[in-house]
Structure 1
């Protein structure tokens, strides 16, 4: 066959807007062995698009209407400075603030403004958002329940509520909130005083007890990676007064992201302790992340929440009115045989220990956070 002519070198390109997605470069095989090629100079990033004056004024009109209004924040609106501006707006207008249930990153803890999440339970979410007349979106989609249920709306807000868009995800969310606060003449507000820690919890392992101990012992500027699924419902609301930290989650519905997300966070932010709150069932999807943590000597404290079942799916079966038989229930049981996370972690080169009460958990958690490298705590529920 005739030799294929060399392709024209690809032109440098860059994403045209945020949020940036995956960029694919397709090249012939001989680039692996042929000589040639020059490293290009990176292009300057494109400026983040700003929202229009009309969008600011429309949101201000809605907020001045006196009708019950909900502001839904997502993306970069959940960083420290834009959250402060959002609270200025809420204080000046009596609007309510909320975020989707799952967010890529939230800046939170003592000295920072808190923001509630849309509850996981559709019924609880509908009760929480009852009476809302207007919803203003800031980098967020309209709220929706995580699963659909027979005879129930997937929208947790009233059917007659009006949706307004202040800013789309690719726009400058922080700048939009600051401009809206200024448009409303909203004065600066102080962060509410933190409640004194109740100290470490004692006794039986519960979601609330773990949250209490995390509040008492979480290191300053920690990165919390949360894939606690069903057991961890108390973790987010119960750690409002913990040391300042970032809270990371998967934003979709897959499971198994917690351990690789913690690995990436530790690589990206050396010097900050990463705490991974990991359900045992979803942790089995990406167990090999522990080996990477050991190989790279990453400062990660992994807390395995070992209830030895897919409890989230048991709850969802009940939610749709299903009556599963033994075969279906056996598929959601990961306790026959029991997983031994201490041995699993050791096999990946990570030190580990087991806790069956809150006193032992606090002891191990304190120790793990001051040592170098990864450590796994199997917390038996």
Structure 2
């Protein structure tokens, strides 16, 4: 057995059965070895950022890692944006990066680079296998570390180690993990103080059980519950406790937190503004508010459960009632498009949301829809939704996936549509086509880069405009094998969604939207 066969066999033996790949010459023995391990599903992507994003989406829904196969340092570099998102989302992933043969590296061939250093920026575990006898143990440890600590594990596999014979396989390597730091005492004291308290949930506390525990605590003590701005996976909808998310814009988030004397972090990070703004504070915690960390992102849901059983043992969490908007009519706007989604969202849907400015009203329009999962842009690196929808659909093939994508972000990883078609995935993609980087038009004003009321000059506006030529997502999608329609009214969007939901396989709807930034 060669090193590549040992690696794949060990992956499968330890529960990793999907590999999203964009391989090159150094990975050919891995590619060939796939035919010797039928339990491993290989999924080809046309860009490394799609492979890494798909593995992120898979982990969010499966709760376990997929593998990613990348080609040398440049391939890893192309996948970094969505590896950054995965790191911030605390999802498990095993990344295999092929490298030059050990004896070839000294020649400084054109694709030679410092893979180890680049991998360290997004990984919680990095290892280079230097001998075929080490491959199985290294692979098993990578999987165990990713599963236990919920991070990206990166294994670098030199080409000669991949093709050398004499490897064995190992199962269930045990990695010692320090218990999560949980401090019930400070949180309990804050909730018992009678002072205004906010419980902010994030990490693994955004499932139904963690949300129920937080709401029980709030009902019993008068605290307020907020969710981190971009949760990894938020369960919501009818029958699930409803929790408001912390706003993206710092001004709105500051208003949500105003008056709090205690902030209990249950899996959520310390709230800060996403960017610095002239003359404004970066830390969003109000002056005089004490911050108490109940638990980090791993174990927060369980910690909330223990705390709720201690403080509010007889409390039953209120849940959202089933309620849908009435189907609207007329031109598509942020209001009408959100109401159509809310009215038609299928049961058990997985919503992957990168709608940005066009989706600002989706939360309220879908709050009473049948229970569903909402995956968000954790980490903030755009080009996320299309790849994540691929991984989510593979992890949960019995559930409909609705990908809500903005036109600018879509173009970062548009080749994910090809993988959707190739794998026959049940994904409905709505591209909100407002023909601009609307969020940057808003930010241009907020950072004070232009004179008040003057508006952007022609050169600045040209860098925020997506016309000339106008992107044609219907033709792009059809060119990659995905049936597509363009819509401009609420009635057309409703009809297109029904068409896409009723017919198996991937579909794309280009929703022509007005700019909200002027």
Q: Give the TM-score, by structure 2 length.
A: 0.69
Q: Distance in 2 between matches of 1:124 and 1:94?
A: 22
Q: Distance in 2 between matches of 1:192 and 1:257?
A: 30
The 1:151/1:40 distance shift into structure 2, 3 A limit, reads same
Alpha carbons 2:405, 2:430 under 8 Å: kept: yes
**Distance in 1 of aligned mates of 2:461 and 2:274:** 22
**Equivalents in 1 of 2:505, 2:242: separation in Å?**
31
| Aligned residue runs from structure 1 range 228-247, under 5 A | 228-247=355-374
User: What does residue 79 of structure 1 align with?
Assistant: 207
Displacement after TM superposition at 1:157 (Å): 2.9
Inter-partner Cα distance in structure 2 for 1:27 and 1:158: 49
Q: Which runs of 5+ in 1 are unaligned?
A: none
Cα gap change, 1:182 to 1:120, in 2 (>3 Å): same
Which of 432, 437, 455 is matched with 1:310 structurally?
437
| Displacement after TM superposition at 1:240 (Å) | 0.6
SS at match of 1:285: coil
Partner secondary structure for residue 128 of structure 1: helix
Q: Do the aligned partners of 2:235 and 2:373 also contact (CA within 8 Å) in 1?
A: yes
CA distance in 1 between partners of 2:222 and 2:204 (Å): 23
2:173 aligns to what? 43
- Shift of the 250–198 alpha-carbon distance from structure 1 to 2, 3 Å rule, reads closer
1:151 aligned to 2:276? no
**Cα drift, residue 123 of structure 1:** 1.4
Paired with 1:78 and 1:6, the residues of 2 have a C-alpha distance of 42
Residue number in structure 1 paired with 2:243: 115
Matches within 5 A, 1:250-329: 250-323=377-450, 324-329=456-461
Q: Which residue of 1 aligns with 2:497?
A: 365
5+ residue gaps, structure 2: 1-102, 105-129, 451-455, 514-518
Q: CA deviation at 1:177?
A: 0.8
Q: How many angstroms apart in 1 are the aligned matches of 2:387 and 2:228?
A: 22
1:29 aligned onto 2:159: yes
From 141, 160, 180, give the equivalent of 2:307: 180
Q: Map Cα deviations across residues 322-370 of structure 1 (whole Å, 9 max, x no partner).
A: 2232111101111111111100101111100011000000010011012
Alignment partner of 1:197 is 2:329:
no
Contact 1:223 1:246 in 2 (8 A): yes
Report the counterpart of residue 350 of structure 1 in structure 2.
482
Q: What is the CA distance between 1:190 and its match in structure 2?
A: 4.4
The residue that corresponds to 1:337 in the other structure is 469
1: CA distance, partners of 2:236 / 2:383: 24
CA distance in 1: counterparts of 2:159 and 2:252, whole angstroms: 55
Q: How many pairs were matched up?
A: 376
Query: Retained in 2: the 8 A contact 1:258–1:278?
Result: yes
Contact 1:297 1:374 in 2 (8 A): yes
Tell me which of 229, 245, 264 is aligned to 1:136. 264
CA distance in 2, matches of 1:28, 1:254: 29
Partner deviation per Cα, 1:165-224 (whole Å, 9 max, x = no partner)? 111123x22221111012213423243451532321211212222222222111111100
Between the aligned partners of 1:47 and 1:214, the Cα distance in structure 2 is: 42
Return closer, same or farther for 1:340/1:37 CA change in 2, 3 Å cut-off: same
Report if the CA contact (8 A) 2:404-2:429 is conserved: yes
Aligned partner of residue 214 in structure 1, secondary structure? helix
Distance in 2, matches of 1:16 and 1:274, equals 25
SS in 1 for 2:499: helix
Which range moves more in the overlay, 177-186 or 284-293?
A: 177-186
8 Å contact 2:220–2:315 — kept in the other structure?
no
The answer (yes or no) to whether the contact 1:100–1:118 under 8 Å persists in 2 is yes
Which residue in the other structure is 2:296 paired with?
168
- For the aligned residue pairs, the C-alpha RMSD in angstroms reads 2.1
User: 2:335: which partner in 1?
Assistant: 208
CA contact (8 A) 1:78 1:105 kept: yes
Give distance in 2, aligned partners of 1:81 and 1:105: 13
TM-score of the two chains, using structure 1 as the length reference: 0.93
Moved more, 285-294 or 94-103: 94-103
Q: 1:61 aligns with which of 189, 207, 210?
A: 189
Task: Report the equivalent of 2:50.
Answer: none
